[in-house]
A and B are shown apart, each in its own frame.
Chain A
Amino acid sequence: MIQRLRQPGAIRIEFQPIVRVHEGRHELYAVEALTRGPRGTSMERPDVLFDYARRKGQESAIDLISIATAFAEAPSLTCAPLLSINIHGTTLTSIDRFTEWLLTSAASHGIAADRLMLEIIEHRAPWVIETFRATLDELRDAGVRIAVDDLGVGASNYQMIVDCRPDHLKVDRHIVFGCSRDPWRRAVLESIVTLARSCDATPVAEGIEDVDDLAVLLGLGINTVQGWLYAPSMPAPELAASPMFQAMKGRNP
C-alpha cells in the first residue's frame, strides 16, 4: 500500500473554506487543503491514512506529497486570501531545509509565502525542540502564518502552544460541535478565547454544522469558522465553481 500511496495521483487534496463573520457578513478568510487517500481503498479516510503512514514511518513523505499536490491544485483558488496546509511537527524537524523546500515549491505555483498558513498537527511528542522552533522562526520570518491544529484533543495541548507560538488556534470539532447545548464545551471555548487574546492569536472553530453553535461562537468572540454549515471539503475545481465560493470570493477581509 505504501508504494501505491507514493505514486502520482494517489494522494488527493480537497479544499474547505474558512470563513470570517464580520458585521453580519460572511467573508472568505482562507481555504484549507485536506489530504485524502485513493478512492475505494481503506486509505480514503485521512485518519486511517496517516495512522498507517505513521506505523510505516512514512508520515513526513505523505506530508510532502500532500503539500506538493495542494500547491499544484490551489491556483484555481487564488481568490482565497490564505492557503492553509497541514503538517506534522515531526516533518518540520526531519526534513532537511524544509523552509527552503516549502517556499520554493509554493513560489513555483505562484503562491507567495504570506499567503500560506501552516497548521501544525502532531500525534507524538517530543520532537527535536531546537530544530522545531528554528524552522518555525524561519517560516514566520518569511511571512508564513502558524496555526496549532486540532486544539483541545490529542497532542494539541498547551505544550504545542508554548512550542509553536502560533498566530492561529484551530479548535477541534470535538470541542466545537454541540457547544450550544453543552456548558462544558462552552467553558472550554471561553478559556480558549481568553488564551488566544493573551497570545495575540486568532481562534478558528472547526466543525461548524449548525447555526446555534455558530451563534454561541460569535457570542464568545470566535468569528473565524469552518465546517459543513458553509461547505464540505471538495476538489479545487468544484469549490471554485460552487455558488457559495463565487459569492464569497469578492468579499475578502
Chain B
Amino acid sequence: MTKRLLIVDNEDTILFALQRYFTRVGFHVDCAKELEEAEALAAYTKYDLVIVDLSLTDTGSTEGLEILRHLRSTRSGARVILLTAYGSKAVEREAYRRGADAFLHKPRPLAEIARVAEKLTGAFA
C-alpha cells in the first residue's frame, strides 16, 4: 500500500526537491508551506511520515515543534523527521522530548534524508 508523506517547508526549492524525490520512490506526497496548512492536512489524512522544517517563518521560529506537538496530541502514528538549518542542541532535545523520530541538520543530501525515511517507514529504496 502506498505510504503517505507530508512535507512541510516554506522554501519552494526544498519542497519541490523533496516532493519530486519521494514521489519518484513511491510515496503519495502532500506539501504544506505553513503551520495551519499542515495541521489542516493532518486533520484529514493519516500520514505514515512527516518531514517538517523547524522554522517556517523567521529564522529562530519553531513552527516545526508546534506541528510535532499537534501530531502527537492527535495520536497520529506518523513518524516525524525534523529538519533545521539553525537548531541548537536544546531544540534538538526538545524535539525528541516531544516525540520526533529524527532530527537532521540542513543542508543534508537527499539520499541521507531518504535513508532515514526508509529506516522509519520500511518503505522503498
Contact = CB atoms under 8 A, between A and B. Distances in A.
Contacts of A43: 37
Contact of A55 (B33, B36, B44): B36
B36 A52 contact: yes
A42 B44 contact: no
A56 interface: yes
Interface string B21-44: 000000000111110110111011
A45 B40 CA distance: 10
A100 interface: no
Nearest to A1: B37
A51 interface: yes
B30 A42 contact: yes
A47 interface: yes
User: How many B residues are at the interface, by size bracket?
Assistant: 10 to 19
B34 A42 contact: no
Contact of A51 (B31, B33, B44): B44
Nearest to B31: A42
Interface string A113-140: 0000000000000000000000000000
Interface in B28-84: 30-34, 36-37, 39-41, 43-44
A170 B2 CA distance: 35
In this complex, the member of A42, A43, A56 whose beta carbon has the largest number of chain B beta carbons within 10 angstroms is A42
B41 A42 contact: yes
Interface in A47-99: 47-49, 51-52, 55-56
A47 B40 CA distance: 8
Contact of A48 (B31, B33, B40): B40
In this complex, the member of B30, B33, B37, B40 whose beta carbon has the largest number of chain A beta carbons within 10 angstroms is B40
Contacts of B37: 1, 42-43, 52
Contacts of A49: 40
Contacts of A45: 44
B71 to A, nearest CB: 15
A51 B41 CA distance: 8
Contacts of B39: 51, 55
Given A47-B43, A48-B40, 10 more contacts: A1-B34, A1-B37, A42-B31, A42-B37, A43-B37, A47-B44, A48-B43, A48-B44, A51-B43, A55-B36
Interface of B: 30-34, 36-37, 39-41, 43-44
Closest 3 CB pairs of A and B: A52-B40, A51-B40, A55-B36
6 contacts: A1-B33, A42-B41, A47-B43, A48-B44, A51-B39, A51-B40
